[in-house]
Amino acid sequence: MNYKLDFIRSQFPALDKDWTYFDNAGGSQTLQSVAERISDYLLTSNVQLGASYNVSQESGSRVNQGFDFGKELVNAKHRSEVIYGSSTTMLLQQLSKSLVQTFQEGDEVIVTNVDHEANVGPWLEMQDAGVNIKFWEVNKETFELELDKLSELITEKTKLVAVTHASNVLGTIMPIKEIAELVHDAGALLCVDAVAFAPHRLIDVQELDVDFYVFSFYKVYGPHYSLLYCKQEILECIPGINHFFIGNEEGAYKMQPGNANFELSYGYLGYKDYLEACYSEHFDQSAKTFREKAVKVYDLFADHEEQLSKKFIEFLKTKPNVKIIGSEEWDKDIRVPTISFIVNGTKSDEIPIQVDEYMIGIRYGDFYARRLIESLDLMDNQGIIRVSMVHYNSLTEVDQLIQVLDQII
């Protein structure tokens, strides 16, 4: 299959500029189609919802379309399972404030020392209510979270396990379906942070059988907005955090204080436009549903990203003074193209500033996975250097980065 990278890149106006973007895990570039829908909403239908007049009815329809797309994108069973909010961090804070009301003193929650702090900190706050927190810790030699270690941590008091779908530092893809089976067999709930996974692979919350699943649109080619999936039967049983008169009949709205952001909810439909267009560019019209088309398009993306990972990892492995922090495999089933490394004898903050001169954007630090960087004793090293690629990056761009790094390290 001929991967039509020129078409793909043409959908992102920022890519027509001079910079090469390899900090995509921090935030991807935004689609033209997303910006156009946001602009159109604000300029033609920016009124409050729920009124009888025509423009309000149109506005409500548009916002509902946005929620319909959220349901499609993650393959939720019901639209009411989809909650929108300002950020993944805020959505998880809101979720924890609801769930803690259902826990008892002595109950247990398991978190990892690999996750972004957004999926750790809110659960740690439950300690104030007498909930015990356990850490599922990474193997410092293999950089893996081992399932047998999770099994040892789970007890009859375990109420929740919080884990990442893909580490924003290590790039490792976690076996979420297998973890869900383990967690559910113990009668506990599973919360998955997919911020670093969602830009790379199609999500299917029903197949994964997760209870809570969250990610940010601005990491997936859209605006600064986020989605939380909450399984219907759980949503109906947990306390809402909206106004006292907002009950279960309001669905996800009970977990969403105030209104959704209208223009961003509607605007993210631009990502659906893009996926549909990518399908039309690459395939015949045999697929009928959006999900069928999305499966094929995401497979294309994954194959291309695997080639990006392979080229960059093969280069790093030629450098005896470089240590890859994560798997040295480039297999798309093992990792996403978020690749971290350190250079022996060099602080991590010394490298990106030299790369800046070539108008290539990479980054250093802990990336809010502070507990992971601390556990690996890399804080004094200024964390790690991270190169995070997505499907719109090219092999030529990887070659350019390699040429620059070859001189520096």
158-164 and 108-112 beta bridge pairing: parallel
pLDDT average, residue stretch 170-195: 98
Q: What is the pLDDT of residue 158?
A: 98
pLDDT average, residue stretch 40-66: 95
Count of positions (residues) in the chain: 409
pLDDT tens per residue across span 109-121: 999 999 999 999 9
pLDDT average, residue stretch 22-44: 98
Q: What is the pLDDT of residue 37?
A: 98
Closest CA to 152 of 123, 114, 119, 186: 186
385: phi then psi, degrees, rounded to nearest 5: -95, 130
Q: How confident is the model at residue 176 (pLDDT cuts 50, 70, 90)?
A: very high
Q: What is the pLDDT of residue 233?
A: 95
- Percent with pLDDT over 70 in the chain: 100
pLDDT average, residue stretch 253-263: 89
- Cβ neighbours of residue 134 closer than 8 Å, sequence gap 6 or more: 108, 109, 110, 111, 153
Q: How far apart are CA 292 and CA 163, in angstroms?
A: 28
Q: Residue 396 pLDDT > 90, yes or no?
A: yes
Class of domain 5-30+296-408: alpha beta
Q: What is the pLDDT of residue 277?
A: 98
Could you give the strand order of the β-sheet that contains 132-136, starting from the edge strand earlier in sequence?
82-85, 226-230, 212-216, 189-193, 158-164, 108-112, 132-136
* Structure-token pair, residue 71: 């349901």
The letter for the amino acid at 256 is Q
Q: Would you say the C-alpha torsion 390, 392, 395, 400 has a positive or negative sign? A: negative
Q: How far apart are CA 159 and CA 177, in angstroms?
A: 18
The one-character DSSP state at 202 is -
- Cβ neighbours of residue 127 closer than 8 Å, sequence gap 6 or more: 133
Q: Residue 250 pLDDT > 80, yes or no?
A: no
- Cβ neighbours of residue 347 closer than 8 Å, sequence gap 6 or more: 381, 382
Q: How far apart are CA 324 and CA 321, in angstroms?
A: 10
Q: Residue 257 pLDDT > 80, yes or no?
A: yes
338-343 and 322-324 beta bridge pairing: antiparallel
Q: How confident is the model at residue 248 (pLDDT cuts 50, 70, 90)?
A: confident
* Structure-token pair, residue 218: 């601005």
Which residue's structure tokens are 């309000």?
Answer: 56
Q: Residue 247 pLDDT > 90, yes or no?
A: no
Q: What is the pLDDT of residue 138?
A: 98
Q: What is the pLDDT of residue 256?
A: 86
Which residue's structure tokens are 């790369």?
Answer: 355
Q: Residue 389 half-sphere exposure, CB side, CA atoms within 13 Å?
A: 31
Q: What is the pLDDT of residue 398?
A: 98
pLDDT tens per residue across span 206-228: 999 999 999 999 999 999 999 99
Q: How far apart are CA 168 and CA 201, in angstroms?
A: 14
Q: How far apart are CA 340 and CA 227, in angstroms?
A: 27
pLDDT average, residue stretch 313-330: 98
Q: Residue 246 pLDDT > 90, yes or no?
A: no
Q: How far apart are CA 192 and CA 211, in angstroms?
A: 8
Q: Residue 251 pLDDT > 80, yes or no?
A: no
CB atoms within 10 A of CB 292: 12
Q: Residue 249 pLDDT > 80, yes or no?
A: no
* Structure-token pair, residue 394: 């090219």
Q: What is the pLDDT of residue 187?
A: 98
Q: Domain 35-270: which topology?
A: Aspartate Aminotransferase; domain 2 (3.40.640)
pLDDT average, residue stretch 363-381: 98
Mean pLDDT score of the chain: 96
The residue extents of the domains of the chain are 5-30+296-408, 35-270
Q: What is the pLDDT of residue 318?
A: 98
Which CA distances in Å does 105 have to 123, 128, 130, 380, 384? Answer: 14, 10, 4, 38, 38
